[in-house]
Amino acid sequence: MDTFVKAKARPEIFNLKPYVAGKPIEEVKRELGIDDIIKLASNENPFGPSPIAVEAIQEILNNIHFYPDSNNFDLKRAIAKLTKHDEKGLIIGNGSDEILKLIAETFLNSGDEIITANPTFSEYEFVATIMGAKTVKIPANKFKHDLQAMKAAINERTKIIYICNPNNPTGTIVTENDLDKFMGEIPADILVIFDEAYYEYVNSNQYVSGTKYINLKNNVIVLRTFSKIYGLAGLRVGYGLTDPIIAAAVARVIEPFNVNLLAQVGAKAAIDDVEHLEKSQKMNLAGKEFLYQEFKKLGLDYVETEANFIFLNTNKDCQEVFAKLLKLGIIIRTGDIFGYPTYIRVTIGSLEENKRFITGLKTVLEA
Ligand SMILES: *Cc1c(COP(=O)(O)O)cnc(C)c1O
């Protein structure tokens, strides 16, 4: 079997590093035998899903013997209305992760290059590696995308540039001014992917969505998701906004029923729950202010965030901090996977969760 796999599998797969996911609550329960656990590791919404979405899913449950609509008709219509974007320019995916893979399958050949920031979301490199493309990682400058250096890294093999805005794991944004300049200067035959998974959390008035650059001279896809502020991570729905011609190209590689029935119905209903969205935005802002204050009291450096997580320097080995917080029933993410061995990334939780995290952090840092 081993010789068979080594001889016959595509060599690209041996270059893949497995995705490091946030530790699931049930796994921690099994491993540590503790019951009272909070997860601040995957930037999920601490207030749960929209009750309107849950109700809509419950109502459709008895229909799951039917295949879902392969065209996502109702959901597309709702997203088009929400985003004021042409329905024909929409891509709906089993999470925006799937759309990242679909884009790679559509555009990337072996030997192509993509450009990303470092640190950033690991999926860009993952999908490029599957296709045999090379990832050129440009170090962030003060935790922000260094757009000038990213532009300078463009060569004849460059096919896609990924801009994670706000960036995961740093929470930083690229400003409208910087983006205007960048988009005006790069060659028109490069595809720019804006990953806006945290779009709804942004407060800065210097922010602009990548949708501004769709239909100009550049080739652009903007990705959003129902996994973060909409609280539907378990359903797996994300969407892309782009030019209809690009959407049609990507549609060629989509599996016919990639978005399941419950996901289509739940996401559509969630769009209507403006109250849930606004409450989540407000609570996130309050949680951010609370955590900033507590970090200041503890004398800890953090990166100012425009998302629902904070990248924080603990000045200690992050694996140690992780293990000790875990014993207290608090799951966070370590910064070492992003190249920052003393940093952790913590999701902004509910008020209660934030307080428990701070208490736990104090215990761990004082030990
Ligand atoms: C969480 C996250 C995603 C994944 O979203 P799904 O829609 O759940 O696949 C994409 N991009 C970034 C930057 C994320 O943090």
Å from CA of 367 to ligand 1 middle: 35
Are 179 and 147 in contact, with CB atoms under 8 Å apart? yes
Mean pLDDT of 176-191: 96
pLDDT of residue 217: 76
The 3-state DSSP class for residue 20 equals: coil
pLDDT digit string, tens, across residues 118-163: 999 999 999 999 999 999 999 999 999 999 999 999 999 999 999 9
Pocket, ligand 1, Cβ cutoff 6 A: 43, 95-97, 121, 164, 168, 195, 197, 225, 227, 233, 238
Q: Give the model confidence (pLDDT) of 230-278 as tens digits.
A: 999 999 999 999 999 999 999 999 999 999 999 999 999 999 999 999 9
- Quote the ligand 1 centre to 9 CA distance (angstroms): 28
Residues present in the chain in total: 367
- Range in 38-52, 208-222, 275-289 with the lowest mean pLDDT: 208-222
Tell me the longest C-alpha to C-alpha distance in the chain: 58
pTM of the complete model = 0.96
Q: Categorise residue 289: left if φ over 0, alpha if ψ from -120 to 50, beta otherwise.
A: alpha
pLDDT tens, 309-337? 999 999 999 999 999 999 999 999 999 99
3-state secondary structure of 96: helix
Question: For a pLDDT cut of 90, what percent of the chain falls above it?
Answer: 93
- Which residue has a Cα nearest atom 11 of ligand 1? 197
User: Atom 12, ligand 1: which residue's CA is nearest?
Assistant: 197
Pairing mode, if any, of strands 158-164 and 38-39? unpaired
Hey, which of 225, 230, 237, 348 would you mutate to test ligand 1's pocket, going by the most ligand atoms within 8 Å of its Cβ? 225
Q: What distance in angstroms lies between residue 321's CA and the mean position of ligand 1's atoms?
A: 25
Spacing, Cα 8 to ligand 1 middle (Å): 32
pLDDT of 207: 98
